[in-house]
Amino acid sequence: MEINHYEFKYGEFGEALGVQISLRGFDVLRFNNISKGTAFTIDERYKLKLNGFLPPRVKTLEEQVKSSLDIIEKKESDIEKFIYIRSLYDRNVVLAHAVIASDATKFLPIIYTPTVGLACQQYSSMFRRPNGIHFYPDNIDDADHILRNYTDQDIRIAVVTDNQGILGIGDQGAGGLPICLGKLMLYTQGAGIAPWHCLPISLDVGTDNEDLLNDPNYLGWRHKRLTGEEYYTFIEKFVVAFKKQFPHALCQWEDFSKQIAFTVRDKYYKELISFNDDIQGTGSVAVAGILAAMKVKKEKMTDQVYLVNGAGAGGSGIAAQIQTELVEQGMDGKDAIARIFTMDSRGIVTSDREIEPYKVKFAKNPETLTWLKSPEDNTLLNAVKNEKVTVLIGTSGQPGLFTKEIVAAACQNTDRPVILPLSNPTTKAEAIPKDIYEWTNGKALVATGSPFDPVHHNGKEYRIGQMNNSFVFPGIGLGVVASGATEVLPVFFSAAAHAVAEFVSDEDIKNGILFPPLDQFREVSLEVAKRVGAEAIKANVAQKDCVFSEFKHNNDLDRLNTLVDKMCWSPRYLDQV
């Protein structure tokens, strides 16, 4: 694949071998995908006509990483560290990713949740350099032309947001783009999707955030959000252009709000190779945690009762994936639904009130809830007590919702309740792990959506497993790309959940820890990718010829596994050829 300025060279299994650069002089330093900064060798400086444009000392990548880490340590806040890493990325993608890879546990919370939420809120004031593509009503008719002129054309993964449901902070207008940037950095860190194969896209359809509309520095399309037919026409124009320019690329829908998230996902899942991480990725990683919890409890998922508090896109996705898993474990579909309760701001979702379509599946007939005699009875505490809930999941964004009394009620239903306060960022978590350990004397099995410090209890330290979508979506993306899957199947998310759960060590299971540590992020992602690729082959949705050379969908799993390992990019400087 040739582009105007540089061309990457690949081996048989998609591994990047080198880069051929047509640029010369200072222009070489302008492109972050190929710039080495002070690491250009003397020979490269003469060959590329860089002599005199850099100070004389030649640094190694390791020396550059050390210098960058020293600078980061002097930053006083996580948002300042975020800004530094992003500016480093804008200059030199290899160095930025090498810095992150030096301590993934430390840097993942900085490049993504929870720090990325602040970056979204401050996007207009923090803007330094263009990243990705902004579509808005005044340019959406030129979408085909804009995509065709994007510098990198070998796009394999795009993360696309309409900016409305950003983390726990809602409508951020044009400010949602850092979410896409962060997710794509995780694709690179976890699954080794090279940065030049990644494309962040903002679908700026306006904002209903009055603070942004009244902010003189706001950079987005300063109008109220498009709705109804106008909105869906806008999305359709984007889809048509994207499919035309990148027909084999995976499109990840990100942070769409509630019903829109389901509508867009369901409308285009056959037309585009696409999925919604907030729905399906969240569901997959939640089931991974529950599967690990069952190993601790030595019980079956089919023996549990589930309550998801927060019936938005994420909560509904979790409920759906739990049902899928229960059915796969032999339970009848209706019986599975009967064991899953969802709650919104009005209590248990019931079928006797007007509800959004995506809530209907798990809505309960109020006549079956004998304890629910009046609206005042419809509380979380009553639901946990009366329905004998053993797995309590929070996606509500309401801090402190899981009180001592509610957690104690769950303990009455089972010796080891599973308590999962998943709301992001940390300040939105339904309960603090330290409190849950104290309230239950360490019996509760806990995982959170955001990172928390280890808990010291009864003289022992317990790492808090993070139910982070990053354990799932990068591997799914790599599995889709490696196999050449033409669609993203529900079974991919089940396969991913089992892969993650099986990665939890015996020692962690013994201590009631439900997720691997983040420093195993890449190993987990590669295993997920192999499981997903195998399911694509089994389901006959793998392309006969995938993106890379000669891989055939002939059930050659050994070749698939080799492909996943070999094509996985790591931050190192490529030879200039």
DSSP code, position 395: -
Q: Give kind and range of the element (H or E) at residue 16.
A: strand 16-21
How confident is residue 3, by pLDDT bands cut at 50, 70 and 90?
Answer: very low
Q: Please, where in the chain does CATH 3.40.50.10380 lie?
A: 60-255, 471-571
Q: Please, where in the chain does CATH 3.40.50.720 lie?
A: 281-469
88 contacts 95 by C-beta, under 8 angstroms: yes
Instruction: Give pTM, 2 decimals.
Output: 0.93
Q: What does the pLDDT average to over 75-94?
A: 96
Peptide bond preceding 114 in cis form (omega within 30 of 0): yes
Topology at the third CATH level for domain 60-255:
Rossmann fold (3.40.50)
Query: Model confidence over 125-143: pLDDT tens digits?
Result: 999 888 999 999 999 999 9
Does domain 471-571 correspond to CATH entry 3.40.50.970?
no
Q: What are phi and psi of 273, to 5 degrees?
A: -75, 100
Catalytic residues: 112, 183
Q: Which long-range contacts link 348-351 to residues 24+ away (Cβ below 8 Å)?
A: 348/372, 348/378, 348/383, 349/311
Q: What is the DSSP string of 400-457?
A: T-S-HHHHHHHHHH-SS-EEEE--SSGGG-SS-HHHHHHHHTT-SEEEESS--PPEEE
CB within 8 Å of 134: residues ≥ 6 apart: 174, 177, 202, 204
Query: Model confidence over 302-327: pLDDT tens digits?
Result: 999 999 999 888 999 999 999 999 99
- Picking from 321, 342, 204, 314, the residue whose alpha carbon sits closest to that of residue 257 is 314
- In this structure, of 111-125, 187-201, 459-473, 540-554, the range with the lowest mean pLDDT score is 540-554
Distance, CA of 373 to CA of 371 (rounded, Å): 6
Task: Tell me the CATH architecture of domain 281-469.
Answer: 3-Layer(aba) Sandwich (3.40)
How confident is residue 365, by pLDDT bands cut at 50, 70 and 90?
Answer: very high
Tell the residue number behind the tokens 């919104």, with chain if given.
344
How confident is residue 1, by pLDDT bands cut at 50, 70 and 90?
Answer: very low
Tell me the one-letter amino acid at 250.
Answer: L
Distance, CA of 199 to CA of 152 (rounded, Å): 8
Distance, CA of 34 to CA of 365 (rounded, Å): 60
How confident is residue 547, by pLDDT bands cut at 50, 70 and 90?
Answer: very low
How confident is residue 546, by pLDDT bands cut at 50, 70 and 90?
Answer: low
